Structure 1
């Protein structure tokens, strides 16, 4: 059986590739959810992993949910609505909860369609880089359903409430240029340059002290909902931790000695 999630480690950078190209990489199947959760939790636990790249095989990022499994008894929708609710909580909703808790930075490299839950999966990542062949759609309404994976929370925090409302209520597809214009992605590159661009971004992140990077990401995530006073309190505590690391001492020494620093994660 082909691995549904490929993993490739290059120094401090881990690349995860959704590998069900014949189905355009759906993410709602329990085996794929389990594989993603296991890989991301392992990366988060390893301070040696300084950045993760998430992409899809076969010219698609992710088609989101498998529509064929949305029929009664298909695995997600149960005859009993209360059980369908449980299926969502035990299934696809594990992903946004996990991504929100991760400290390791995750970069989405999107070379093709990111549809429905696939679009929301991209939104769960910290940075999104798109190929000029990428397409995005918050398409749930086209199927008579709503974003069941947290998309209503995620999308508006990235593109703003007006654009998120437009995308969610129309279900319309947008191309890479429009995704860049509305800040859904931070960069658009030719498809041949996508993975090099994602790796370059990952290496720029990985070059920094890993504890500082992870704490800075944690602050950004917490600041999405916290008050300024709460964020300042957390910032003070994390700053004290940062000052105590050997990497901080190395950064200060390298600056004063006008040399390149060497960070070891301690």
Structure 2
């Protein structure tokens, strides 16, 4: 049996490939456990992460066969919501590369990422109520934050599935590129992120995600930490030297 998640490690980033193409990368318990292990590694060694599906699909949803057998205690365990929240809280930015379908749990995984790049075939939505359940792994609140309440209600309550152009117009997708350029586009974005000081990016993400009542204290504390770093001094010195050399 093939691994449900393929991990490609690079110096400053990791590519996570959802690898269940025979079921359009449906998210089952084995894939959830593999994602937990990947998150553990990214928590210990913070790097940018790119999440991509195999076989022309990001993730067409959670595994319906497993969902059908889940009961109250399974719901209370938050099997999918737990891993998507962990993805959302990773120290460094996470980029979803969304080719084809991102439905149900697949959409919720994409919502948990910091950036989403799509292709012309991208389709994003949450049809959970049609199966007698709700989108309980983040969509009911993350989607509203991402696209606003009116559009979120169309998706969650009326079953609307967004195509690539609609998702881009709503800024649910940051960019739409040809399918054969998808991974390269993800790496270009990762390159832009990696060009900044890693700790500054990491703390900016933490401050950005902090609750409103944590500000401005958390901003000041994070800035105080960065003021003491050698990288801050070196980057500012280099900036001043470049400006001095200009005519």
Does the pair score TM above 0.5?
yes
Determine the structure 2 residue equivalent to 1:85.
75
1:7 shift after superposition: 0.9
Instruction: Tell me the equivalent position of 1:255.
Output: 239
Distance of 2:57 and 2:217 partners within structure 1:
42
User: How far does residue 171 in structure 1 lie from its aligned partner after superposition?
Assistant: 1.4
Aligned residues, how many?
243
Alignment RMSD (CA, Å): 1.4
1:235 to partner: Cα distance: 0.4
Tell me, which stretches of 5 or more residues in structure 2 are unaligned? none
Structure 1 stretches of 4+ with a deviation exceeding 4 A read: none
The structure richer in helix per residue is 2
2:222 matched residue in structure 1: 238
Q: Does 1:201 align with 2:185?
A: no
Residue 28 of structure 2 corresponds to residue 40 of structure 1: no
- Check the 8 A contact 2:107/2:125 in 1, yes or no: yes
Asked if 1 retains the 8 angstrom alpha-carbon contact of 2:7 and 2:15, the reply is yes
Taking a change above 3 Å as real, the CA distance of residues 96 and 226 of structure 1, as seen in their structure-2 partners, is farther
8 A contact 1:55–1:110 mirrored in 2? yes
Aligned position for 1:134: 122
CA distance in 1, matches of 2:112, 2:94: 9
Structure 1 residue 148 displacement after superposition: 1.7
1:160-208 deviation line (CA, Å, top 9, x unaligned): 1111011101112211000001111111111111111000000110111
The 2-side partners of 1:40 and 1:69 are apart by 23
2:52 and 2:96 in contact (8 A); partners too: yes
Which runs of 5 or more residues in structure 1 are unaligned? 260-266
- SS at 2:117's partner residue? strand
Q: In structure 2, how many angstroms separate the alpha carbons of the residues matched to 1:202 and 1:37? A: 22
Q: What's 2:152 paired with?
A: 164
Shift of 1:130: 0.5
**Comparing 146-155 with 61-70, which one deviates more in the overlay?**
61-70
Hey, what's the Cα distance between the residues in 1 that align with 2:67 and 2:87? Answer: 24
Return the alpha-carbon distance in structure 1 between the equivalents of residues 97 and 160 of structure 2: 21
**SS at the partner of 2:216?**
helix
3-state SS, counterpart of residue 54 of structure 1? strand
Matched, 1:109 2:93: no
Q: Take 1:171 and 1:236, find their aligned partners in 2: how far apart are those partners? A: 43
Taking the aligned partners of 1:191 and 1:239, their CA distance within structure 2 comes to 39
* Counterpart residue number, 1:226: 212
Q: CA deviation at 1:256?
A: 1.2
Using structure 2 for the length normalisation, give the TM-score: 0.94
